[in-house]
Amino acid sequence: MPPVLIIGEVTPDGDAASITGELIAAARPLADGLGVELVAALPGTSSQRAAATAITLGADKAYAVEDPFLDDPSAFDAHVAAAQKLCQEIGPSIVLFGRTITGRDVAPRLAFRLGTCAANDCVEVKLDSDQRLAALRPVFGGSALAWVRCLGDVAVVTVRAKAYEPLEADATRKGEVVNFSPGLGRDAVKSRLVERVKEDQTQGLRLEDARIVVSGGRGLGGPDPFVHLEEIAKLLGGAVGASRAACDAGWVPATLQVGLTGKTVTPDLYLTVGISGASQHMAGCAASKNIVSINKDGDANIFKEARFGAVGDWKNILPAFIEQLQELVK
Ligand SMILES: Cc1cc2nc3c(=O)[nH]c(=O)nc-3n(C[C@H](O)[C@H](O)[C@H](O)COP(=O)(O)OP(=O)(O)OC[C@H]3O[C@@H](n4cnc5c(N)ncnc54)[C@H](O)[C@@H]3O)c2cc1C
């Protein structure tokens, strides 16, 4: 029986990245519903440990897909070729990727090679009455959600980060860890890493992984006020994000952009300061559990989405807010 396959990710330290557990949680009911194995693939240069973790998180079998060309997660050609070889080996009916930088590039290319289609940025996956995969994804910039189905033999899907909570790890779970060498040659890799530049953002918590995100927009008026957002993020153990207007103005790096053409975040708390709530921005944060906004315009669109809001100038609101936070976290 064709298994359900998740393509997990491995951190630079060789651990399973959080998206791996989330994908296993999404795929477990699919595999159980179809009565097939749930297989996890962990591509990297040293992914044994991550593969073993995948078993504890609910996979039945885990492939440590190891190859020197998989060292760089942005060597997308290598990741596509490795995923294709694994699919040829195990013949899955469903392949789930995370909607990460790697997943969103690799999944559609793998789908093309498998002669099927890919559904991107899905927030829910389930089996339809005919046991085919149905995936729920935002459309029209996040204004609506649509169930889509893949009519090919294989369904390839990317699942949004934080759409699923990982299952509780169970160290007593038994499962097979298989070494799989895709034997990639130079011809499989048409791009190469020239230089690695560490962004300030990546020194702290990754925006996509943060449970609390504090985002600033054009209403901040310049780069300097972002220090207040950094302070709030630090106090709350969160990360800083931004609207495209703030990124385009060069106030903060483009890597902080949240939205349709930026990152998708689904934190427990999304705090916005001086952001109007344009649909393209909301496309990247509307699934946050709680949105709290500060904006001087009471009619700003962001207040339609926000659970709590303060109408006023951030210059008057943030100092007292930060003071309160400092008291609370003492
Ligand atoms: C194809 C496409 C893709 C896009 N992708 C993205 C994307 O990924 N992410 C994204 O963010 N945008 C994206 N945009 C841009 C988007 O349409 C908006 O232009 C952008 O989100 C606006 O950013 P903003 O809310 O910071 O600025 P504005 O819309 O200018 O809003 C600033 C807000 O700050 C408030 N304000 C001003 N001064 C203060 C103050 N002193 N105190 C409190 N509040 C104040 C104002 O009332 C206003 O509501 C995209 C647009 C297109 C066409």
Pocket test of ligand 1: the residue of 240, 251, 295, 303 to mutate, having most ligand atoms within 8 Å of its CB, is: 295
State the pLDDT confidence band at 198, using cuts at 50, 70 and 90.
Answer: low
Structural domains for the chain: 4-188 (3.40.50.620), 202-329 (3.40.50.1220)
* Mean pLDDT rounded to a whole number for the chain: 93
State the pLDDT confidence band at 202, using cuts at 50, 70 and 90.
Answer: very low
Half-sphere exposure of 178 (CA within 13 A, CB side): 15
Amino acid 244: pLDDT: 97
pLDDT tens for each residue of 261-312: 898 899 999 999 999 999 999 989 988 999 999 999 999 999 999 999 999 9
197: CA distance to ligand 1 center in Å? Answer: 28
Quick one: average pLDDT of 224-238? 95
Q: Is 243 in the pocket of ligand 1 (CB under 6 A)?
A: yes
Half-sphere exposure of 16 (CA within 13 A, CB side): 32
pLDDT tens for each residue of 113-122: 999 999 999 9
Phi, psi of 317 (to 5 degrees): -95, -40
Pocket test of ligand 1: the residue of 244, 271, 316 to mutate, having most ligand atoms within 8 Å of its CB, is: 244
12: CA distance to ligand 1 center in Å? Answer: 34
Q: Is 313 in the pocket of ligand 1 (CB under 6 A)?
A: yes
307: CA distance to ligand 1 center in Å? Answer: 19
pLDDT tens for each residue of 138-189: 887 667 889 999 888 999 999 998 889 999 999 999 999 999 999 998 888 8
Say if pTM beats, i.e. exceeds, 0.85: no
Phi, psi of 73 (to 5 degrees): -65, -20
214: CA distance to ligand 1 center in Å? Answer: 15
Amino acid 193: pLDDT: 72
Whole-angstrom Cα Rg for the chain: 21
Q: Rounded to an integer, what distance in angstroms lies between the CA atom of residue 225 and that of residue 319?
A: 11
Q: Is 282 in the pocket of ligand 1 (CB under 6 A)?
A: no
Q: Rounded to an integer, what distance in angstroms lies between the CA atom of residue 254 and that of residue 250?
A: 8
277: CA distance to ligand 1 center in Å? Answer: 6
Pocket test of ligand 1: the residue of 247, 273, 280 to mutate, having most ligand atoms within 8 Å of its CB, is: 280
Q: Rounded to an integer, what distance in angstroms lies between the CA atom of residue 271 and that of residue 287?
A: 13
pLDDT tens for each residue of 56-113: 999 999 999 999 999 877 789 999 999 999 999 999 999 999 999 899 999 999 999 9
219: CA distance to ligand 1 center in Å? Answer: 8
Q: Whose C-alpha lies nearest to ligand 1, atom 7?
A: 259
Q: Is 246 in the pocket of ligand 1 (CB under 6 A)?
A: yes
Q: Is 309 in the pocket of ligand 1 (CB under 6 A)?
A: no
Amino acid 152: pLDDT: 86
Q: Rounded to an integer, what distance in angstroms lies between the CA atom of residue 267 and that of residue 209?
A: 8
- Is the pLDDT score of 314 beyond 80? yes
Q: Rounded to an integer, what distance in angstroms lies between the CA atom of residue 258 and that of residue 264?
A: 6
278: CA distance to ligand 1 center in Å? Answer: 6
Q: Are strands 118-122 and 155-159 parallel, antiparallel or unpaired?
A: parallel
Q: Is 300 in the pocket of ligand 1 (CB under 6 A)?
A: yes
Q: Are strands 144-149 and 133-139 parallel, antiparallel or unpaired?
A: antiparallel
